[in-house]
Amino acid sequence: MNAAAMEQEYQRPALTQLSDEEELFRASIREFAEGEVRPRVEKMDHDAKLDPELIAQCFDLGLMAIETPEEYGGAGSTFFNAILAIEELARIDASTSVFVDVQNTLVTNAIIRYGTDDLKKKYLPQMAASKVGAYALSEAGSGSDAFALKTRAVDQGDHWEITGQKLWITNGNEAGIFIIFATIDPAAGYRGITAFVVEKEFAGFAVGKKEDKLGIRASSTTELILDGCKVPKENVLGEIGKGYKVSIETLNEGRIGIGAQMVGIAQGAYEAALKYTAEREQFGHAINQFQAIQFQLAEMAIDVETARLLVYNAARLKDAGKPFLKEAAMAKVYSSRVAERVASKAIELYGGYGYVKDYPVEKYWRDSKIGAIYEGTSNMQLQTIAKLITSGK
């Protein structure tokens, strides 16, 4: 296909230009975030727990089933709208953002893509109405080397029996539905990995220790303990031995969600710094009248907008059915760097006030650090990008 034909086939939209529907959706999420999330942020961060009333509101507003088809009780919307929601929530609170993110871009996404009709009919309506999802891949010795997992699934004839331990599981305390990755044959390497849908009430399943974290403190991060957990045969997600495909493809999309979360954090920190520097006076002037401050704000604005362009580009490509692996990795790496850099600069612009919990910017910085770690570390993303560009893709 020549260049002209390719251009005719796919007209790339202006990345930050939103349709009227997208603008309306963004506005509705921002109103919710400002009105319902912001008043709860300080207490949730202090208590290291999401407000149960806020969780219920996320379901009532349809935020937990943005892409879920209407026939299963969802909004039947786009991946891009899910990205807008994640960004807008992170602008106020990253914990609420990642709570919604994991539900949409990982758990629901995996069931929509790989679930049988029966699994979709059983679990998607529950997740649209009230059930929180969690995605359990990581283990003590299986982080970046995701396929070194030790959790074992044994075929017991009429059911599977899973034994092992999962770590660093987001939404662990709130979730009722888990996607668990286990190997049916350790000697087969990644070809033995299989994905299962596990309910919290299944015999042999338990939620363990909750981690005490630097940032995103209201988001629960827990261990999961599977001690001969009995899972029905029909709860295999995708094909037996093809769990690696489920994990790779869902995480590729999930990384765009993390990118959106980081853009939201950066935007929130930037806005806080912009407001503070207009109010803070030194030497008889608001400090934003000094060129040194203005230049720093300008650099922050450039960083935020550049990160947003990368994230939106990856999301638009995904919705258009185009390859987006490289773009998703770029978006995650760069946006996580931007979030940390902008939040750190915001602390400096606040001076001593930026270093105390009475003001918002120290939390943005704490929340930003996880972006370089979860759903694929920055080093792993760089490896992906390097492989793709050196192979001419």
- Name the nearest CA neighbour of 33 among 111, 94, 121: 94
Structure tokens at 269: 């920190």
Q: Which DSSP string do the residues of 167-197 spell out, in sequence order? A: EEEETTTTEEEEEEEEES-GGGGGGGEEEEE
Task: Find out whether 368 and 340 touch, Cβ atoms under 8 Å.
Answer: yes
Query: Distance (Å, rounded) from C-alpha 61 to C-alpha 32?
Result: 9
- Name the nearest CA neighbour of 311 among 260, 266, 272: 260
Query: Distance (Å, rounded) from C-alpha 73 to C-alpha 127?
Result: 9
Query: Distance (Å, rounded) from C-alpha 326 to C-alpha 333?
Result: 11
What DSSP designation does 235 have?
A: G
Query: Distance (Å, rounded) from C-alpha 116 to C-alpha 197?
Result: 11
Query: Distance (Å, rounded) from C-alpha 186 to C-alpha 193?
Result: 8
Task: Find out whether 276 and 350 touch, Cβ atoms under 8 Å.
Answer: yes
Catalytic residue, chosen from 87, 139, 161, 375, is 375
β-strand partners of 179 = 135, 197
Q: Which amino acid is at 262?
A: M
Query: Distance (Å, rounded) from C-alpha 269 to C-alpha 121?
Result: 41
Is 375 among the residues known to form the active site? Answer: yes
β-strand partners of 198 = 178
Q: What angle do CA 30, 32, 38 make, to 5 degrees?
A: 90
Ordered alpha helix ranges (H), 233-377: 243-279, 291-319, 325-350, 361-368
Catalytic residues: 375
